[in-house]
Each structure stands twice: as structure tokens, then as C-alpha cells.
Structure 1
Amino acid sequence: MSGSYLNIIGLALRAGKVTLGEEHIVKDIQRGRAKLVLVANDTGKQTMKKLTDKCSSYHIPCYVVDDRETLSQAMGKSGRVAIAVLDQGFAKKLQSLLDESIRG
């Protein structure tokens, strides 16, 4: 997967436009605040199912991305398996980069 989306995650985090932590992400999905959810490909089955099902129910784009180590490194935090992007601009840019890397 292309690493360019990881830079956008870092920017969004510094701008305060993301949510971390499974429960906080679920709440933001339910409240309609989450514009995009990224989940690490090595996330546990229950967490993966919970987040992808919530995103599906609430029509929030959800992408399974690199492993937790890569995702955590992009945020400068350890042990992170998921992130919700709360800003439409960051979400659109991430989606286009991820779609491009999937296609290409």
C-alpha cells in the first residue's frame, strides 16, 4: 500500500481531526461525526467486525490498511489499530489516495 496516505493521517492527527480508540470511534460513527474509518489489517476479529459493521450500518467509508505497527507509527502513538477521520477534507484526500493505491 502506498505510504503517502500515512502523511495525511499525521497531518489530520496534529490538526485534531481524528478519533482514536475503539469506543470513541464507534460513538463518532453513531453521531455522524466520522467521515472515514481506517482499520489495521492485523486488528482482532471482533474489533474488525464491530468497526466494519458500524461503518456499513451508518454508511461511513471504511478501509482496511497496513498493519497496526505502520498505522501507529504514522500517528506517533503505539498500539493503534483504528482511526476515525472527522474532517471531510482529510477524509476525501485519504479516500482518493487509498483508492489510487488499490487500483494501481
Structure 2
Amino acid sequence: MNKIYSMIGIARKGGKISIGFDVTCLEVQKNKSKLVMIAVDASEKTKKNIQFVCDKYNCEYIEYGEKELLGQCLGKKMVSVLSINDENIVSYVLSNI
């Protein structure tokens, strides 16, 4: 498992991550989300919808990782969309991609 997945796992334990489409949308709307991460293998509809919300509320997003790997490091089966709500974790993730 690489550095980014490890960091996401740690951030989850620290309560700095929101998992799932609906929760992520709320975090973006409330301006709490610093970065939205979309799994590369998420459905096109999911990608399109989350990108629309991010663009509307001027929130940065990236496509990274696969649903199963993201799920694994977060203790779930599969995760298509997640929100990182901490500036330091975001800068770490972006500098290690």
C-alpha cells in the first residue's frame, strides 16, 4: 500500500475524511471539503455529478485510486468518492501523487 492510501487511512481515524457521494456533496456545499477524491473506476455518472457539484462550489477534485483500494484503506468494501477536510492532508496527498 502506498503513502497516499496510508495517509487517507490515518486521516479517517482522525475524523478528517467524509466517505460517500451524499456526504461529500454536503461537505462541499458547506465549504468544509478541501479536496474531493474520485476513484478512477467510479461510474461516469458519479464522476460527472460530483465534478458538477465541485465546480459549482469551487472545490478542487482529483481522480485517484481504485474503489476497492480506497475502500480497503478506509475499512469499507468500496469507496467511489471521498472528501478530505484538512488542509495539511490535502497538501501531503497532492505532493505525493
Deviation at 1:77, TM superposition (A): 1.1
Match of 2:78 in 1: 79
Deviation at 1:32, TM superposition (A): 0.2
Structure 1 counterpart of 2:37, one-letter code: L
SS across alignment from 2:79? coil
- Counterparts of 1:34-45 in structure 2, within 5 Å, are 34-45=33-44
Identical columns (%): 24
SS across alignment from 1:59? coil
SS across alignment from 2:96? helix
Q: Gapped runs of 5+ residues in structure 1?
A: 99-104
CA contact (8 A) 2:69 2:78 kept: no
Q: Gapped runs of 5+ residues in structure 2?
A: none
- For 2:3 and 2:56, the matched residues in 1 are separated by 29
Match of 1:94 in 2: 93
Deviations 1:10-57 (A, max 9, x none): 010000011111111001101100001111111111111111121122
- For 2:51 and 2:94, the matched residues in 1 are separated by 16
Deviation at 1:6, TM superposition (A): 0.7
